[in-house]
Structures are given as C-alpha cells and as structure tokens.
Amino acid sequence: MQQLAKHPGGRVNFTETKTLSVLDQPVVSSGELIYSPPDRLEKNTLKPVPESLVIRGNDLTVVRDGVKRQLRLPQYPEVLAFVEALRGTLVGNRSLLEQHYALALSGTERDWRLVLTPLDDRMKRWVKQIKVQGSDKGLSTVETLQADGDKSVIAITPDAR
C-alpha cells in the first residue's frame, strides 16, 4: 500500500472485458486511464464507442454520443464505492478503502493481490467482490465480480507513448 501511495499520476492503457450472461460473447472495450492525484480520474474509452468518464472530487461526468450526464457521487453511494475502489487503490489510501470494503492483501511487493469485499448492503446488491492485482510498477488488473455472476476485467498496460 505504501508503495502505491508513492505512485504518481499518469496515463495507462486499458482493455475492459465484460462477461455478461445476457450475451453469448464478452464485450470488449479499450482506451486510456488518466489519474491526476489526488482525486481526478479519467477513463477515456476509445473503442468500440467513444465515451469519456471524468471523476473529479465528488463530481462524475460521462459524455457518450455527444450527450453529457453529470452526477454528484454522494447521492449515489454504490457508484461512489466503485470510484473509491479505483481511487483508493491508485493512491494506496487504506482508510478510504476501509470505509467501503473489507480488505485482504496477499502476495509480495512484486506480485500483490488485494481483494475488496463491499460492506454496504446497497453495494452488495451489485458487486460481490473486486480483485485488484499489481506489481511494484503499479496496477495490472481490476476484476469486478458482480452479484449476478457477471464479471468485468480491466487489464492495464503501460502507456506506449
């Protein structure tokens, strides 16, 4: 965790694979994640449909199909919990994560694994567990197991640029 806390902001590429029971094949999307400490997180999906999701403090903005939607995170606790899972892991803020999840950290500094189990009932209706894997270089995957058995895996690779 301490090591993560030292991790500065930056840009990485991601590929998200969603496995949904309603679909026969997973849906795959990719783009870039930009993190600017302390609280700005940007997820720019480039393929297959461009979408920009910007979280800044307590504001979340999504732009898709040219339509902008905004919401205040404190009004949507389950979304907030999601966001904090990412932000908390990125900065290695243990107390922030513990507000929303039970934590289980295992592995070594070079190959660690953090399992987040939601505490809040509203969150539990959506998410069973979030598994984060990483190395001394930072995060490598974020796997979200949804309550209904669906899952999403975000694989992170360093920015080639």
Contacts with another protein by CB under 8 A lie at 16, 18, 20, 22-25, 27-29, 43, 45, 48-49, 51, 53, 62, 64, 67-70, 72, 74-75, 126, 146, 150
For residue 15, the minimal CB distance to another protein (Å) is 11
Beta strands in the chain (DSSP E): 10-19, 27-36, 40-47, 51-56, 59-64, 67-72, 101-107, 112-118, 127-135, 138-146, 151-158
Nearer CB in complex with another protein: 22/160: 22
Nearer CB in complex with another protein: 18/124: 18
Nearer CB in complex with another protein: 69/137: 69
Q: How far apart are the first and last CA of the chain?
A: 27
**Do residues 29 and 13 touch, judged by C-beta distance below 8 A?**
no
- CA-to-CA distance for 145 and 151, rounded, in angstroms? 5
Nearer CB in complex with another protein: 45/89: 45
- CA-to-CA distance for 21 and 149, rounded, in angstroms? 8
For residue 57, the minimal CB distance to another protein (Å) is 14
Nearer CB in complex with another protein: 32/51: 51
Instruction: Give the single-character DSSP code of 160.
Output: -
